[in-house]
Structure 1
C-alpha cells in the first residue's frame, strides 16, 4: 500500500511526471475548446455576412433610411437606431449594410461567447448546440433583415454572451464588462418599445448576479423597474433624441377598442357609431391578428378618424381605460385571442407575417437586395417557422420548464438559465397585454432566450421527477399545436 501511495498522488506524495502533465493538459484543453467555439462563431458570422450581403431592407428599413437622409425623425420607428444609422451614413457608409453588419456581429459574437462559457464549464455538447441554434433558419432568416427586432436581438445576445463568460463560472463581471453590458442592454431597450420586458430581467440577473431565490420580492422589483423604464422611453425619444411624436401610442388603445367592440358589440364603444363598427366587422377589419386594417385609410381608417374627432388627443386613453373597466370580459377575450395568434398556439400552420424576407422592399433610396441564392434558405425558414417546432408557444413552454426545474438558482450556470428563462417568459407574456400584431419576428428573442436557457440548464442539479414533469408539459403543448395544425384551415391574410 505504501508503494502504491508513493507512486500516486496520495497525501504528502509528489505526483508522477506523467500525471502532472495530464493535470495540466485538462485546463489547456478546455481553454482551447472555448477558443474553438469563438472561432467557429466568427466563421459562421463571416459566412452569414457573405451569403446574405448586403442584408434585407424591409418596409420599416426604407422608412427609417428616409429619415436618415432627411434628418427628420419621429418616434414611430426607434430614433436611437436611426441616429446610429445616420452616424454610419455620415462616415460614408451608405445603405443598410452598416446596420446589417452590426446586428450580425453582435449576434454571432454573443453566441460565440456564450458557447465558449459553456465549454469552459464542461458543457461542450451544449456549446455546439448553441451554434446550431444560431443557424436555425427561422431565427437567422429574420436576423439578416435590418429591423429594430434584429438590432434588439443582436444587442441582447451580445450582452448575455459577454456576461456569461464570467457568470457561468460564478465570477463577478469586471467594471469594463459591466459597463459594456449596460450599454448593450440600454441600446436594446431603446430600439423596441416593449424591449424592457426582455432587458430588465437580464439586467437584474446578469449585472446583479441574483440567485433568484425570492420570487415575490424579486419579481416585484423587476416589474417596477420595467414600468419605470417604459415611462421614460417617450421623453428620451422625443426630447433627448429629438424625435417628433407620431401617435404610435394610439395603436394599442385603437386595437383594444376594436377588439372589445367585436366581442361585446358596437354599443360597447359608443364614441363610434354602431353602423361604422358593423361596416368594419363586415370587411374583416376587426381581427385579433393585428391592428393594421383599423389604421389603414383604404380599409377601416374611418374608425380612427371618428375617434380622433370624438376623443381627440390624450382623451383616447380615458376612453380606452373606461371601456376596459366597463367590459372586462370582452377585453380579456380579445387579449387572449390575440396572444393565441401571436404565439401560434391554437392556430393554423399558415399565418401571415411568418416567413423571413427574401428580398428588400422596392425603393428609390439605393437599398439593394441580397442575391437570389438566399431564397431557398428563407423558404426553409418559412417552412420551419410554420411547423410545430417553430411555434413560439413551444419555446415559451420550454422556458417555463427551465424555470420549473432550475429555480431557485444557486450556481452560475443555473442563474444564467433562470435569467434567460425569465426574460423569455416576461417578453412573451407581455404580448398578451401590449401586443398589436402577430409578426413572427417579434418572438425571435423569446425563442432564442428559451433555447439558450435550456442549454445553460444542462448539467445543473435538479430532481428527475421535475425533469419528467417539465418534459411532459412541453410534450402536451406540442401535441396541442399539432392538433391545431391538422384541424384548422389556413388563416386569411388581413386586409
Structure 2
C-alpha cells in the first residue's frame, strides 16, 4: 500500500481528530440506551440490530459508555472520505479530492454522525469499506487482499446493522467488484440482496443469539391499520368492521410514524387480534387487503412517503434536527461542549433547508443518474453509478417498507448522492443539465416551500406526536 501524504487526506485526518475531541464521547439517544442495556446484560433481541450490541459488548473492556462505538463510527466516516480523496488526488483531480473531504462537513451529516446510532454505524462502516476498495479501483489498480478482506468485514457489519441496508449496499458492492459488464453487476446486486435478506435472520438469531421480537410485524400492522381507517365499515385482515372507528377516534394511524399503534393502549388493544399472526401471515393479509382496496393502500403509502421524504410538510417537522444532547439515563452523564452544542443547533437549522430534504436529494440522484449514463466508461463513472444505485434503491424500498420519518434513515442516500455529484460534476455542467436542475428545483421545491410556510406547526413532544394528525394525511374527512 502506497503512502498517504496528500493535503486533502491530512485535512480529513485533522477533521476526524477535531470531531472526536469536540463531541467526545458521543451523543446517546433512546434506542442506543436499549442496546447498551443488552450489551451489559448479555441478553439480546432483534428489535435493534444485535450485531451492534454484540460489538458494544466486545468493546466494554475498553470502557463503558458510548466512546468506543463513537470512535469507530467517526473514524470510519472520515477514513472513507480520506481514502476516496486520496485516490482522486493521485489521479490529478485535487479539486475533486477537496470536495470529497468537504462533504464530511455537511451539517446534517456530521450532526447525526456524532450520535451513536445504527444509522451512523452503517454510514461509518460503509464509507470506510467503500474507501478501502475505491482507493484502488479509481486508479485502475487491483485491490490488495488485506484491503479487500477489511472491506468485506466492514460491509458485512454495515449490512447487518440496519434492516434495510441490503437495499443500499448490494448495488454498491457489485459496482466495486471486478466485474466488467453491467449485466454481471446487476446479477451480483440481486444475488447479494437475496443472500443478505435470507441469511440475516439465521445470523441474528442462531449466530448472534438474539431472541425474536415482533419488529418484523410492525410494517404490515402499520399498513393494514392504514387501510382499515381509510375503508370505514370494512373488515380488514380479520379485524371487526367497527374497529376502524376506534382507530380513527384514537388517532392510531398517522403518516408520521407507526408508534401510536404500539405505544397507545387503546390502539394496541384495537389491533390485538393480529398479535397471534406471524409475519408471513400478516404480509399475505396485507397483499390481499391492498388488492381489494388499492386506493386506500396507495393513500396510506403516499401519505407516509410524503412525510419520510419531507416534501409537502410543515416546517420544523421533528426527527430531522440532530440531537443537541444525550437521553437522560442512569449509566453515564454526557454533556456537549459549547462548540458541539453550537454545531448541533446550526445543523438543526440546516435541516430546514434542502440539505435536510430527502426528496431533494432523490431528485438530485435521478438527475445525476442521467448524467452518469451519458458519460464514457471510467472508474469514476462506475463508482458514481454504484453510489447512485445505492441511494435510489434504498429510497425506493421506502415506497413499500417504511414506518417512521426520521431524517437519519436517509443519511446514507445523502452521503452517496453527494459523493456521486462530486465525482460527476468535476467540470462545468452542460446548459441542458443546468436547465433540467432549475426546472426540477422549481417543480418540487416551490410546493415544498409553500407547504412549510402555510401548514400549521407540528408538535415537538413525543406524546403530542402520538395524537397528531398532520396535514395531507390523506385520511377520510
- TM-score, length-scaled by structure 2: 0.90
Matches within 5 A, 1:30-41: 35-41=6-12
Q: Which position in structure 2 is the counterpart of 1:193?
A: 163
Matches within 5 A, 1:81-230: 81-89=52-60, 91-210=61-180, 212=182, 214=183, 218-219=185-186, 222-230=189-197
Any conservation in 1 of the 2:246–2:270 contact (CA below 8 Å)? no
Which among 324, 348, 351 is matched to residue 314 of structure 2? 348
Which among 383, 399, 415 is matched to residue 432 of structure 1? 399
Structure 2 alignment gaps of length 5 or more: 467-477
Tell me which structure has the larger Cα radius of gyration: 1
Any conservation in 1 of the 2:356–2:407 contact (CA below 8 Å)? no
Q: Which position in structure 2 is the counterpart of 1:52?
A: 23
Q: Which position in structure 2 is the counterpart of 1:13?
A: none
CA apart distance, 1:162: 1.7
CA apart distance, 1:283: 2.6
Residues 103-160 of structure 1, C-alpha deviation per residue, up to 9 Å, x if partnerless? 0000011111122222223332222222222112211111111110010000111122
Q: Does 1:416 align with 2:383?
A: yes
- Aligned mates of 1:329, 1:186 — CA distance in 2: 39
Q: CA RMSD in A?
A: 2.4
Q: Which position in structure 2 is the counterpart of 1:15?
A: none
Q: Return closer, same or farther for 1:277/1:413 CA change in 2, 3 Å cut-off.
A: same
- Aligned mates of 2:334, 2:40 — CA distance in 1: 16
Any conservation in 1 of the 2:216–2:279 contact (CA below 8 Å)? no
Q: Which position in structure 2 is the counterpart of 1:267?
A: 234
Residues 272-327 of structure 1, C-alpha deviation per residue, up to 9 Å, x if partnerless? 23443222212322111111110114462113423225x46753333223222222
Any conservation in 2 of the 1:406–1:460 contact (CA below 8 Å)? no
Residues 32-57 of structure 1, C-alpha deviation per residue, up to 9 Å, x if partnerless? 8x621111111101111111111011
Residues 39-94 of structure 1, C-alpha deviation per residue, up to 9 Å, x if partnerless? 111110111111111101111111001001110000111111111110111x2421
- Aligned mates of 2:247, 2:169 — CA distance in 1: 37
Any conservation in 2 of the 1:268–1:327 contact (CA below 8 Å)? no
Q: Does 1:358 align with 2:329?
A: no
CA apart distance, 1:467: 5.7
Q: Return closer, same or farther for 1:262/1:171 CA change in 2, 3 Å cut-off.
A: farther
Q: Which position in structure 2 is the counterpart of 1:21?
A: none
Q: Which position in structure 2 is the counterpart of 1:280?
A: 247
CA apart distance, 1:199: 0.9
Q: Return closer, same or farther for 1:41/1:335 CA change in 2, 3 Å cut-off.
A: same
- Aligned mates of 2:160, 2:74 — CA distance in 1: 18
Structure 1 alignment gaps of length 5 or more: 1-27
CA apart distance, 1:169: 2.1
Residues 216-257 of structure 1, C-alpha deviation per residue, up to 9 Å, x if partnerless? x75465245323321221111011111000111001111111
Any conservation in 2 of the 1:399–1:421 contact (CA below 8 Å)? yes
CA apart distance, 1:418: 1.0
CA apart distance, 1:185: 1.1
- Aligned mates of 2:142, 2:433 — CA distance in 1: 30
- TM-score, length-scaled by structure 1: 0.87
Q: Return closer, same or farther for 1:413/1:94 CA change in 2, 3 Å cut-off.
A: same
Q: Does 1:290 align with 2:261?
A: no
CA apart distance, 1:390: 1.8
- Aligned mates of 2:456, 2:179 — CA distance in 1: 47
- Aligned mates of 2:446, 2:90 — CA distance in 1: 36
The farther-off stretch of 70-79 and 378-387 is: 378-387
Number of residue pairs the alignment of both structures matches? 460
Which among 287, 294, 297 is matched to residue 328 of structure 1? 294
